[in-house]
Amino acid sequence: MKKLVVIGSGVAGLIAAVEASRTHEVVLVTKSNLAESNTHYAQGGIAAVTTDEDSVAEHIADTLSAGADYCYEPAVEVLCKEGPDRINDLIRFGVDFDKQGAKYALGLEAAHSHPRILHAGGDTTGADISRALVQTLRETAAEIHEYTFVVDFEIKDGAVIGVWLLDSSGKHFVEADAVIIASGGAGQLYRHTTNPSVTTGDGVAAAFRAGAELADVEFYQFHPTALAVPGSFLISEAVRGDGAVLINNKGERFMQKIHPLAELAPRDVVARGIQAEMISQGGQPVLLDATALGADFLNQRFPSISKTTRSYGLDWGKNPIPVTPAAHYWMGGIASDTWGRTSVKGLCAVGEAGCNGAHGANRLASNSLLESIVFSRRAVQVLEETWPDQAASVRWKESGLLSIVELEDESDRAPQKDLRVVDRVELQTLMWDKVGLARTREELVSTQGELQQWRSANIENRLFTDWEDANLLLLSRAVTAAALARQESRGGHYRLDYPDTDPNMAKPITIVRKKK
């Protein structure tokens, strides 16, 4: 029996902990409470083939198409083929998916060729899944550490041997034979994000410091429709799937001129279309018009969205509501193979923290929850197996590498007291303005210069938030460096100075820690 530490309490972490607890000693660590994660806020649902009218082959084709000719096909095949069985797992864990009569009430979202999106509670799918898995986990023998921060991983002879944690009692060490990182993404890199405040990329940053390779970090998906109010509350893509349309301040639809699928085009296309329209109207938000659906339908189909819009004095059953793009999902992360194994022995990465190539350059709507449940279970399945020599390099062996970018970690150089301690709001604003939806070489080079003028708080006195800021600073440098290296536009990465997609660049950029 191995001792496994699981980092994170989203669906990927919860599934990993539940599955592993059958045969291993499990410690689950989360820096907030068990329910606080991106999973909890997922409205749109989970994509999987559950009807005879649909097929796994078509789900694969849709995923590859949305991924902008950049997906790692073996990972996509695993995702779509194993998805239906993992849906059945969730049902056994107590998730009650919405039905119409005896059949599932399947939704249609952008770039899907069939209605295949399962929902629970209308627009509270993530919360329903989270509740079921949290309850299941509490019935296991797993040791749970809430409000506990992962500082770093301890590495010996190229393999992980434990985790350094920080909680209200101070810093302490937990031994581990293996670690599964399921700590989510890094939406807090940006001023506008649909992600909760806990998404500061801690697991990804700690893995990089431990020597793990990062991949595809330049690809960040911006959700087209966040409510244009403080907090950037997500307006689910399912709303557009049900017939809502985007209009400018003149009341005109504009997406029809940009893409044949109009409002249901891939997310990166819709987000940039909205951004362009906002620029043309002096920065004012565009409007999402769902009035044709009717107040009764909206209240029943999207109860939490209706409640939230009302809390801001908006009645979306009668009037269009203001929306803006916001950072939503990170296609990049810790490079892994299709079993979640990274370049560091014993260290796995799954869910949004990992990058196995399944999403390519642009995640297909509602594939994220599916990826989490599929690959977290697979990571548990290989814990007892011999670690491959180059687990994370499987993908690059087949496609080759576009570039390897060496990035220096602050700990590798002498302390520079003359630098300013990083300010999170300034960092988020910089990333939003210069490394967001549209990028240029000039702005990326400028951003690199500005990031070099900041440092993290002194390590001996760091609190949770100081560690978060240190991780955000590190990941800002990684994203900017990768965005500068990719001289093309593809999926979630858009360069104004290289607006076309270059087939020769359909290869990963990896970020590695610069050798001392």
Rounded CA separation 15/13 (Å): 6
Q: Could you give the C-alpha distances from 368 to 29, 39, 471, in angstroms and in order?
A: 21, 9, 23
The question of whether 301 is a catalytic residue gets the answer no
Largest CA distance in the chain: 67
Selecting among 209, 267, 272, 301, the annotated active-site residue is 267
Decide: residue 279, CB within 10 A, 0-12 exposed, 13-18 middle, 19+ buried: exposed
Query: Closest Cα partner for 231 from 308, 332, 137?
Result: 308
| Angle in degrees, 0-180, between the axes of helices 368-381 and 125-138, rounded to the nearest 10 | 20
Which helix (H) or strand (E) segment holds residue 294: the answer is: none
The DSSP string of 181-231 is E-----GGGSSSBSS-TT-S-HHHHHHHHTT--EE-TT-EEEEEEEESSTT
List, in order, residues 6 or more apart from 36 with CB less than 8 Å away. Answer: 9, 30, 196, 198
Count Cα neighbours of 51 within 13 Å in the Cβ-side half-sphere. Answer: 15
Q: Could you give the C-alpha distances from 481 to 241, 472, 485, in angstroms and in order?
A: 36, 14, 6
Tokens found for residue 161: 């041997």
CA 53 to chain CA centroid, Å, is 30
E-strand ranges in 84-176 read 99-100, 103-104, 117-118, 143-145, 149-156, 159-167, 170-175
Q: Are 117 and 45 in contact (CB under 8 A)?
A: yes
Backbone phi and psi for residue 163, each to the nearest 5 degrees, phi listed first: -135, 135
- Cα end-to-end distance, the chain, whole Å: 36
Rounded CA separation 105/439 (Å): 40
| Angle in degrees, 0-180, between the axes of helices 368-381 and 11-20, rounded to the nearest 10 | 30
What residue spans of 67-115 are helical by DSSP H? 73-92
- Which residues are part of the catalytic machinery? 267
